Amino acid sequence: IQLANKIAAGEVVERPASVVKELVENAIDAGASVVTVKVKEAGLQSIAVTDNGSGILEEDIPLAFGRHATSKIHSNHDLFHIRTLGFRGEALASITSVSRVTLKTCADNEVGHLVKVENSRLVEQTLTRAKQGTEIIVEDLFYNTPARLKYVKSLHTELGKITDIMNRFAMSHTDIRFKLMADDRILLQTSGNGKLNEVMAQVYGMTIARDLVEIKGETGDYRVTGRIARPEHTRANRHYMSLFINGRYIRNFVLTKAILAGYHTLLPIGRYPVVAIDITMDPGLVDVNVHPTKQEVRLSKEPELMTLITRLIRDALLGENL
């Protein structure tokens, strides 16, 4: 079992940012309205994620760390109608195979539980005082897989990736209050008031704040909402174009093209816009089960969605009388 976990860990947990991603996804799935992430040494020393979500019931604690243990899928039907961010039930198992994990959790305002897991083994479980929700601390990441540790890039690069991921969570879940701290420095703090333009101002700087145009529209199958920056705020790469499907950050070449088509001649050659767009659709129309990191997706009726996105952006920018 330990070996299997370590092998799978290579897929799910390739760097500190992947741990942050998986833990924050769990917090969101648990219905949290406040999520705090604290990292030391870009996560290599420690990653602590605290949420005020559902917590984990005592009897479910051993299950949570088990391989393919997920509370989120109950049938084959569920697998093709995924509404939660997690569903494979392998993140916690993978993380505990390559680090030392401490979990503190409290469900239904009952007594709290403190659990320590090392090398996929539960080494301690005690009662403790805890607030409603869950805190997971991951220490000494990759201590037992030196090859992977070596593969991790500079602390600066790793922290950048963690920040990117947190920024995207903040943009896709504007009603959650997020905080990211790195070695006691605050890198991101949102209010959770549901306003995407305010989150984007936090993430991309205040100068962009008043130049964010709202887009909103739907066809039978898709609803698209978001904010797009006016073309004077272009960037040198595609990195600032964030696409979400049902709240999950995704990458999709065709939809990126649709966004660029909406800006059309307003973009200088080699320049890209700043946008955050969320697409709501029947989960049955999107297959996120293509890759363990769940970032690449397959869509049904792609042309319909492309046309909608391009039109919404073009109309929004025209309406601004540029």
Binding site for ligand ADP (CB under 6 A): 22, 26-27, 30, 51, 53-56, 64, 69-72, 86-93, 134
Q: Helix, strand, coil shares of the chain as percentages rounded to 5?
A: 40, 30, 35
Task: Tell me how far apart the alpha carbons of residues 19 and 207 are, in angstroms, rounded to a whole number.
Answer: 32
| Shortest Å, Cβ 49 to Mg ion | 11
Task: Tell me how far apart the alpha carbons of residues 76 and 66 are, in angstroms, rounded to a whole number.
Answer: 20
Structure tokens at 59: 């009897």
Minimum CB distance to ligand ADP smaller for 11 or for 218: 11
51 binds, among Mg ion, ligand ADP, none (CB under 5 to 8 A by kind): ligand ADP
**What's CA 116's distance to the chain center, in Å?**
25
- In sequence order, which residues have a C-beta less than 8 Å from that of residue 30 and are 6 or more positions away? 51, 53, 54, 55, 133, 134
274 binds, among Mg ion, ligand ADP, none (CB under 5 to 8 A by kind): none
244 binds, among Mg ion, ligand ADP, none (CB under 5 to 8 A by kind): none
Task: Tell me how far apart the alpha carbons of residues 257 and 248 are, in angstroms, rounded to a whole number.
Answer: 19
| Shortest Å, Cβ 176 to Mg ion | 16
| Shortest Å, Cβ 181 to Mg ion | 22
CB 270 within 8 A of CB 235: no
Residues of this chain that interact with Mg ion (CB under 5 A) are 26, 86, 91
82 binds, among Mg ion, ligand ADP, none (CB under 5 to 8 A by kind): none
- In sequence order, which residues have a C-beta less than 8 Å from that of residue 318 and are 6 or more positions away? none
Strands (E) located in 130-273: 133-139, 177-182, 185-189, 212-218, 222-229, 241-245, 248-250
Minimum CB distance to ligand ADP smaller for 72 or for 314: 72
| Shortest Å, Cβ 263 to ligand ADP | 36
Minimum CB distance to ligand ADP smaller for 62 or for 319: 62
Residue number with the shortest CB distance to ligand ADP? Answer: 86
Minimum CB distance to ligand ADP smaller for 26 or for 174: 26
| Shortest Å, Cβ 19 to ligand ADP | 11
| Shortest Å, Cβ 46 to ligand ADP | 17
Minimum CB distance to Mg ion smaller for 94 or for 202: 94
